Structure 1
């Protein structure tokens, strides 16, 4: 599995040089090493939102949905703190942050989409629907592509 950050990681803003080196050093590493390094980054640099993204993508790709959901929730909390958003995602309103500029608020929004997808894959339709409803309120033009998850949700019903 590719571990290099994609353009999606740019949703979170800057990644420190030391964290970037750690992440880039994971190319071709065994899964256990990848997971250990990424979880270590979340503990030592909890503001490094890219590590949460890579963790939930990595775990979801391996169908480790409990771990993916856990990493996404931690990333959501870290992003909420960094963006000055309410930790309860259901309380966040469209005017609370600029969700279109790269940074913690955009990462937070993207992580909501990831949680909707994880919820769908876990068969938690109600949770996925609630998350999609919130995404629709915060990103009406669907800049982050939650419509893909919404379409999957509708097809699975």
Structure 2
């Protein structure tokens, strides 16, 4: 699966990553972690609309246990996706009718990033914040198309 092009990119982020950003990211294969982080964060400054970069950043940092950085990347990605989808930047005020969260695009990525923030919050020991995010996910995605139930089960298992 190539998250930067084709069906996967459209499904998760609403479209392909620009060729310039794609070249930068593809050049990171096998690069040391410091270079990966530097390039990805730089891309968020030069191409803040490239939602895939935020995903790569929060996955990278979470995988390395760098939860503060992961949370920062996810929050910035959430803000960029909200802007692209025409959603309020305050995730708590977003209502189910504000966007089609089932359709590929920025609104779906926004919802997916809420799930990521819930997971990151849980890993950081922020149970109440994770619970609030999951409650919002339940309101916006009652059929659980994006799988927030996994994070919810982890939260309940920590009780």
**What TM-score comes out, normalization by structure 1 length?**
0.94
Q: Is the 8 A contact 2:10 2:104 kept in 1?
A: no
Q: Considering only aligned residues, what root-mean-square deviation do their CA atoms show, in Å? A: 1.4
Q: Is the 8 A contact 2:10 2:105 kept in 1?
A: no
Partner residue, 1:63: 65
Partner residue, 2:14: 13
Partner residue, 1:99: 101
Structure 1 pair 137/73, CA: closer, same or farther in 2 (3 Å)? same
Q: How far apart, in 2, do the equivalents of 1:18 and 1:55 lie?
A: 17
Structure 1 residues 74-153: aligned runs within 5 Å: 74-153=76-155
Q: How far apart, in 2, do the equivalents of 1:98 and 1:69 lie?
A: 25
**What TM-score comes out, normalization by structure 2 length?**
0.93
Structure 1 pair 41/9, CA: closer, same or farther in 2 (3 Å)? farther
Structure 2 stretches of 5 or more lacking a match?
none
| Aligned length, in residue pairs | 154
Structure 1 pair 129/9, CA: closer, same or farther in 2 (3 Å)? farther
Structure 1 pair 86/8, CA: closer, same or farther in 2 (3 Å)? same
Structure 1 stretches of 5 or more lacking a match?
none
Structure 1 pair 110/8, CA: closer, same or farther in 2 (3 Å)? farther
